[in-house]
């Protein structure tokens, strides 16, 4: 102790004070430096420019253009199609189709009718309209319809072959996006994402809506692969690029719900159901509110059923196809005789008219619910013969002890993907 005191007594008090002061100065300087960097970084964080286009802006533009025209003019019908494509409402599509039918000999408008029919899963009607256009085999838009019909009929190899040829001939972002969609469904999500990014790079500043749609597709890949935070990032980016679109907002809502952020999901769904007549969103919102606001939830379930009936009366295939997954899930939790009958009837109708992998999966799930294991297994064998390799396909193969065949290669030539084309 004495020795220590003796040692301490040798330190110059002035030096010691200076040393401490120096330490304080260095420490505070470092804190200030880091705070400065953090503040500058915050201030420099990329700020979003005012979006060039928005859902509401585009809707108003279309409505204003329609107001300048008479309903019996072909351009009015064309604008109504644009409006329907924006809102996604079946009533708008139905009205558009009625307006288009007034011009039975106009090739351009027949093409639009065919597109509407196919987007509403009506392959029979779409096929008939396609036949009317088959005199124009050199029109790439007729080829678009052929690809769409092949996809809805489950003729995937044919569709992929045509798409590949088209991509080699003339790289278009829409073809690349279709190819990417198939690549993901065929089990190669990484390639799909790469193709979507490449498609985005092909878009000009005037195509910001299409850019947002592609960003949405990238998010859907992550969502379907269970990568919810990554999906959310894509959906938020899409929403910033093209704000206010119900399709983006409903995906945001779905993801927030999956991330256990129900309040954010509820707020978004509340906005979505003001814009869309899709019963799925009424149902999803009802589901989120069922525990806390059962009366409101029941009202939403009723509204969902009402919207389904309205949509079914106009486009039964699309109406049924969209709702089937929800009903299958509901039937597993809370079976009812009415829903059982509906599922059996609609899944069969869907498969007959649109025999692709989606319809097969829905029918198999309905048959499993029904306890008809043998029929479900037989259809699963058919499903495995397609190149569809989603998680559901793997689950079904596993369930029935069937081997999961390998993936169809969806790798495109490097010059297409890496912007090294001539």
Binding site for other proteins (CB under 8 A): 37-38, 40-49, 52, 135-139, 200-208, 210-211, 215, 229-230, 232-233, 236-237, 240-241, 421-422
Q: Are the C-beta atoms of 156 and 127 separated by less than 8 Å? A: no
Measured from the CB atom, the residue of 244 and 316 that comes closer to other proteins is: 244
Measured from the CB atom, the residue of 172 and 378 that comes closer to other proteins is: 172
Q: How far is the CB of 137 from other proteins (least distance, A)?
A: 6
Give me the torsion for CA of 250, 253, 257, 259, rounded to 10°.
120
Q: How far is the CB of 207 from other proteins (least distance, A)?
A: 5
End-to-end CA distance of the chain: 85
Q: Are the C-beta atoms of 55 and 246 separated by less than 8 Å? A: yes
The vertex-159 CA angle with 153 and 163, nearest 5°, equals 155
Q: Pick from 410, 317, 414, 302: which is nearest to 358 by CA?
A: 317
Q: Name, in order, each residue with C-beta under 8 angstroms of 266's C-beta and a sequence gap of 6 or more.
A: 253, 285, 288, 289
Measured from the CB atom, the residue of 201 and 329 that comes closer to other proteins is: 201
Q: How far is the CB of 152 from other proteins (least distance, A)?
A: 25
Q: How far is the CB of 230 from other proteins (least distance, A)?
A: 7
Measured from the CB atom, the residue of 196 and 301 that comes closer to other proteins is: 196
Q: How far is the CB of 199 from other proteins (least distance, A)?
A: 10
Rounded Cα gap, residues 411 and 409, in angstroms: 6
Q: Name, in order, each residue with C-beta under 8 angstroms of 63's C-beta and a sequence gap of 6 or more.
A: 83
Measured from the CB atom, the residue of 94 and 242 that comes closer to other proteins is: 242
Measured from the CB atom, the residue of 151 and 177 that comes closer to other proteins is: 177
Provide φ and ψ at 153, rounded to 5°: -90, 5
DSSP string, 3-58: HHHHHHHTS-HHHHHHHHHHHHHHHHHHHHHHHHHHHHHHHHSPPPPPPS--HHHH
Q: How far is the CB of 227 from other proteins (least distance, A)?
A: 11
Measured from the CB atom, the residue of 240 and 322 that comes closer to other proteins is: 240
Measured from the CB atom, the residue of 127 and 243 that comes closer to other proteins is: 243
Q: How far is the CB of 134 from other proteins (least distance, A)?
A: 9
Q: Are the C-beta atoms of 402 and 380 separated by less than 8 Å? A: yes
Q: How far is the CB of 107 from other proteins (least distance, A)?
A: 9
Q: Are the C-beta atoms of 276 and 88 separated by less than 8 Å? A: yes
Q: How far is the CB of 218 from other proteins (least distance, A)?
A: 12
Q: Are the C-beta atoms of 393 and 162 separated by less than 8 Å? A: no
Measured from the CB atom, the residue of 201 and 306 that comes closer to other proteins is: 201
Query: Rounded to the nearest 10 degrees, what angle do helices 294-314 and 90-101 cross at?
Result: 20
Rounded Cα gap, residues 161 and 147, in angstroms: 10
Rounded Cα gap, residues 96 and 76, in angstroms: 9
Q: How far is the CB of 388 from other proteins (least distance, A)?
A: 29
Measured from the CB atom, the residue of 20 and 52 that comes closer to other proteins is: 52
Query: What's the token pair of residue 396?
Result: 């079904």
Query: What's the token pair of residue 342?
Result: 């509906």
Rounded Cα gap, residues 5 and 270, in angstroms: 75
């Amino acid at each position: 102790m004495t020795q220590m005191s003796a040692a301490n007594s040798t330190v110059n008090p002035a030096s010691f004070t200076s040393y401490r002061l120096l330490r304080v100065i260095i420490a505070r300087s470092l804190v200030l430096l880091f705070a400065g960097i953090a503040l500058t970084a915050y201030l420099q964080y990329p700020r979003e420019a005012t979006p060039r286009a928005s859902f509401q802006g585009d809707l108003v533009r279309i409505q204003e253009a329609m107001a300048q025209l008479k309903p019996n003019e072909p351009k009015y019908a064309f604008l109504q199609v644009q409006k329907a494509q924006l809102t996604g409402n079946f009533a708008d599509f139905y009205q558009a189709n009625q307006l288009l039918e007034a011009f039975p000999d106009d090739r351009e408008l027949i093409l639009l009718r065919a597109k509407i029919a196919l987007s509403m899963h009506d392959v029979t009607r779409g096929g008939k309209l396609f036949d009317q256009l088959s005199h124009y085999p050199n029109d790439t838009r007729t080829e678009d319809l052929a690809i769409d019909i092949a996809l809805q009929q489950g003729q995937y190899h044919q569709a992929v072959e045509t798409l590949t040829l088209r991509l080699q001939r003339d790289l278009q972002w829409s073809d690349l996006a279709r190819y990417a969609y198939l690549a993901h469904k065929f089990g190669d999500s990484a390639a799909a994402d790469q193709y979507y990014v490449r498609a985005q790079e092909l878009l000009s500043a005037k195509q910001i809506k299409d850019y947002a749609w592609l960003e949405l597709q990238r998010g859907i890949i992550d969502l379907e692969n269970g990568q919810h935070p990554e999906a959310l990032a894509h959906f938020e980016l899409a929403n910033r690029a093209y704000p206010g679109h119900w399709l983006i907002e409903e995906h945001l809502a779905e993801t927030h719900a999956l991330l256990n952020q129900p309040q954010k999901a509820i707020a978004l769904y509340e906005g979505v159901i003001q814009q869309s007549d899709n019963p799925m969103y009424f149902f999803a919102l009802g589901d989120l509110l069922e525990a806390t606001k059962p009366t409101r939830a029941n009202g939403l379930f009723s509204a969902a059923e009402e919207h389904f009936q309205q949509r079914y009366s106009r486009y039964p295939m699309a109406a049924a196809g969209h709702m089937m997954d929800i009903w299958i899930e509901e039937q597993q939790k809370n079976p009812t005789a009415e829903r059982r009958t509906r599922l059996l009837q609609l899944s069969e109708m869907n498969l007959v008219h649109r025999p692709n992998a989606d319809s097969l999966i829905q029918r198999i799930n309905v048959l499993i619910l029904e306890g008809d294991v043998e029929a479900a297994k037989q259809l699963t064998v058919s499903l495995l013969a397609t190149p569809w390799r989603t998680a559901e396909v793997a689950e079904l193969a596993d369930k029935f002890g069937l081997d999961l065949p390998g993936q169809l290669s969806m790798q495109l030539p490097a010059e297409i993907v890496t912007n090294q084309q001539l």
